[in-house]
Structure 1
Amino acid sequence: MLLGCIGDDFTGSGDLGNTLAKAGMRAVQYVGVPDGPAAPHVEAGIVALKSRSLPVAEAVAQSRAALDWLRAQGCTQYLFKYCSTFDSTREGNIGPVAEALADALDATRVIVCPAFPATGRSVYLGHLFVQDRLLNESGMQHHPLTPMTDPDIRRWLGHQVRGSVGHVAAAVVGQGAEAVRTALDAEHAKGHRLIVADAITDADLVTLGQGAADLPLITGGSGIAMGLPENFRARGLLSGSAAAWRGQAGPVVALSGSCSAATRDQVARHAARHPAHEIKAGALMAGEIDAEALADWAMAQDGIPLLYSSADPDAVRRAQNRFGTAQIATRIEALFATLARTLVARGVTRLISAGGETSGAVVEGLRLAQLEIGPEIAPGVPMMRAGDALVVALKSGNFGGPEFFTDAARMMEAPQ
């Protein structure tokens, strides 16, 4: 294994696997820290954790355990992957985990770059934009678990870490990899270890990857990995062969727990033409919703049935105020975990999941150990084979086109 990656959620880890596989690395996503060694053909191993919303100490401990396993596989470089909207609270977990990994690897220059231009995320002047909006005006300020109220990544990260935060400006990145390396050295000389790097285009991300060729640790969204495979290829370390992919016939069901604007639009469009059943927080908390009954409903439908708890921000806030944020999240995730397990036991062979927490619950509910990264459905969302007769698509809330559920179902069935 060459590149060892740690993801703070399951959908984001799949997003990273998609980026690496497209660039020619044989990538496998592991669900949690594996018990045994990786297969010898794996070039990029991604340990997917569900640590984004954990208490800081627990997130750090899990990430260190993942690092220890990856180091034992012989990796020469490591990547800490988080969301391209830098999902975190004022306390963490991105900063504390990044510092802990840097401590363990003795990393003195650590790039921080959540940019992902293909989905409209860019970093300029240290500020994170979503399309043409600052992060705190993009809808992310309403996220139920990690509301992002400050677009200045340097300042937000500064709340989370012991040390100070540096910056490499877009004008420097535009001058090439050598200029990036010089700027990183200059920021290190000022006492900065975590260094926010601007990136507006894919070319900027490739340049940052080239500039990071000799760094032990990089952090960012999946886009920061775009330039890394070429570094290994230039050293003659990649096999150059990709694993074959096959489609999967059989029943399909979509699950959605994301409350992002993009997913709510996808849900509304899908519900207009396909069977859709809403899971309401009040009914769930009152014990009126049963996973077996929901599975019965889904299996009786034609087309692509959708079970969803996605709601607008006002409805989410009302439910949180009434029942408690943690209590609702726990109950919804438990329901989706049971649903996924029940649906697959009933013969579902294609399972689509929208939302990071939802997808984490689905993966845990199915007790999956590893996922083979397949072709891309949409930027940041690959198909993944979870067994001989099961293919899954795990989507972050804001990813995918308007007809994502239909597109995913069709592509998961078709041979590539």
Structure 2
Amino acid sequence: MLIGVIADDFTGASDIAVTLAKGLPGEGGLHTTQYLGVPQQPALSDVEAGVIALKSRSLPADQAVQQSLEACEWLLAQGCEQIVFKYCSTFDSTDAGNIGPVLDALAQRLEAKRVVVCPAFPAMGRTVYQGNLFVHDRPLNESGMAHHPLTPMKDADIRRLLARQATTPVSHIGWQQVVQGSEALAARLQASDSDAAELVVIDALSDRDLTVIGIAAAGSRLISGGSGIALALPHNMIKAGKAQGNRAALPRVEGATAILVGSCSGATRGQIDEHQKQHAVLALDIQDVMHERVTADDIVQFILTQQHACPLVYSSGDPDSVQQAQQQFGQHNISRRLDQLFGDAARKLVYEAGIQRLVVGGGETSGAVVSALALGSLQVGEEIDPGVPALFAQRTVPLALALKSGNFGRNDFFAHALQVLAGA
């Protein structure tokens, strides 16, 4: 294994996994496997990039650090030359962590000196300029992320955010330096009078900028960012003669379908609205969920009886309704109950009802579902939409999945994803 990734949620892991699997245009990527938690056995010998999906984004910081270090140790044992810490392109975290504390711990473990920090994902409108994170034309804190139920983002300045979270000093390299090219940027990253670790926030406005950064960081033991930070990493390994850039063909899966959605993002709500114009949709009322008037069996029954209509079950809502529910029941109580409900439903759908194509919306919901399914590892297939790959579980009965972050995907994503998983 050449490159090891530690991702702080499951959809983010899928996002960077497909980036590594496809590589730069015309070159090909790396043979990539996504692991659902830290594996208990060695990787297969042909895996060139391993992505460990943790559910650590919303954990207490000390637990996130512990899990991340465990993942790091396993990846190093597989021979990884470079470790990537992958977080959301909207830098989802709080002043207590978890991005800063994890970077502190990984930098110390790997004895990394200057650690790239770049959450930019231009394909989804996320860019970094003068150290500030933008979502399209809005600073992060004006993009709607200030109302996120778990990690409200109320500051766009990545330097300030990191300084409040991390003990490692934070510096910045502006876009004007990035456009001078990889050689100049690499020299800038290597030039320092101190051997102390440093977190270096780097601007990026385009995929070209991310490619420049990735090439400049070819020799770095630790880098961090959104999935775009990995764009050029396969190129580095191919250029060094350590990888061939070939990808194995993966299966297409037909069969029964289910869509489970737990994201409250504006993009996801729009996708649900679009889906219900032609397909079957069931909304879960949070009052019914919290008072256990709706069960996993209810979800399974709806999915199975509506197979002709691409059935989708969701728990979502606008910011006001979400806030009211949190005030009544508590944010973590709601999250815990929904995770259990969707996890139980997924397990019944796959192992009892024979569902073979499963699409999940929302990072927390995706984590709950794949944890409940205990699949171990997933092969990474083609990209369904930017940041969302087709995933395949190696089991007797084929299972294809798509795990979508809340803000990702085209307007008709859910039906489109089912078609791609079937090879249409």
- With the shorter chain as reference, the TM-score category is over 0.9
Tell me the CA shift for residue 18 of structure 1: 0.5
Q: Does structure 1 conserve the Cα–Cα contact (< 8 Å) formed by 2:359 and 2:402?
A: yes
Tell me which residue corresponds to 2:26.
none
1:389-414 CA-to-partner distances (Å, cap 9, x unmatched) read: 10000000000000000110111111
1:245 and 2:245 aligned: no
Tell me which residue corresponds to 1:368.
375
Distance 2:116 2:266 in 1: 29
Q: Does structure 1 conserve the Cα–Cα contact (< 8 Å) formed by 2:107 and 2:197?
A: no
Distance 1:235 1:181 in 2: 17
1:332 and 2:338 aligned: yes
1:303 and 2:312 aligned: no
Among candidates 151, 165, 170, match of residue 156 of structure 2: 151
Tell me which residue corresponds to 2:190.
185
Question: Secondary structure of the residue that 1:224 maps to in structure 2?
Answer: helix
Distance 1:58 1:184 in 2: 31
Matches within 5 A, 1:8-407: 8-23=8-23, 24-186=29-191, 189=194, 193-301=198-306, 302-344=308-350, 345-388=352-395, 389-407=398-416
Question: Secondary structure of the residue that 1:128 maps to in structure 2?
Answer: strand
Question: Secondary structure of the residue that 2:309 maps to in structure 1?
Answer: coil
Distance 1:300 1:316 in 2: 29
1:15-44 CA-to-partner distances (Å, cap 9, x unmatched) read: 000100111100000011111110000000
Aligned length: 415
Distance 1:239 1:183 in 2: 30
Distance 1:147 1:300 in 2: 38
Tell me the CA shift for residue 179 of structure 1: 1.7
Q: Does structure 1 conserve the Cα–Cα contact (< 8 Å) formed by 2:8 and 2:86?
A: yes
**Scaled by the length of structure 2, what TM-score is found?**
0.96
Distance 1:126 1:187 in 2: 20
Partner AA of 2:228 in structure 1: G
Aligned structure 1 segments of 4 or more residues deviating by more than 3 angstroms? 185-192
Question: Secondary structure of the residue that 1:246 maps to in structure 2?
Answer: coil
Distance 2:108 2:295 in 1: 47
Distance 1:72 1:186 in 2: 30
Distance 1:327 1:286 in 2: 12
Distance 2:56 2:289 in 1: 25
Q: Does structure 1 conserve the Cα–Cα contact (< 8 Å) formed by 2:363 and 2:406?
A: yes
Percent identity, aligned pairs only, is: 51
Distance 1:234 1:294 in 2: 50
Q: What runs of 5+ residues in structure 2 fail to find an aligned partner? A: 24-28
Distance 1:292 1:307 in 2: 12
Tell me the CA shift for residue 178 of structure 1: 1.7
Tell me the CA shift for residue 58 of structure 1: 0.4
Distance 1:42 1:282 in 2: 45
Tell me the CA shift for residue 190 of structure 1: 10
Tell me the CA shift for residue 187 of structure 1: 6.2
**Scaled by the length of structure 1, what TM-score is found?**
0.98
Distance 1:77 1:9 in 2: 20
Q: Structure 1 residues 365 and 256 mapped into 2: Cα distance closer, same or farther (>3 Å)? A: same
Q: What runs of 5+ residues in structure 1 fail to find an aligned partner? A: none
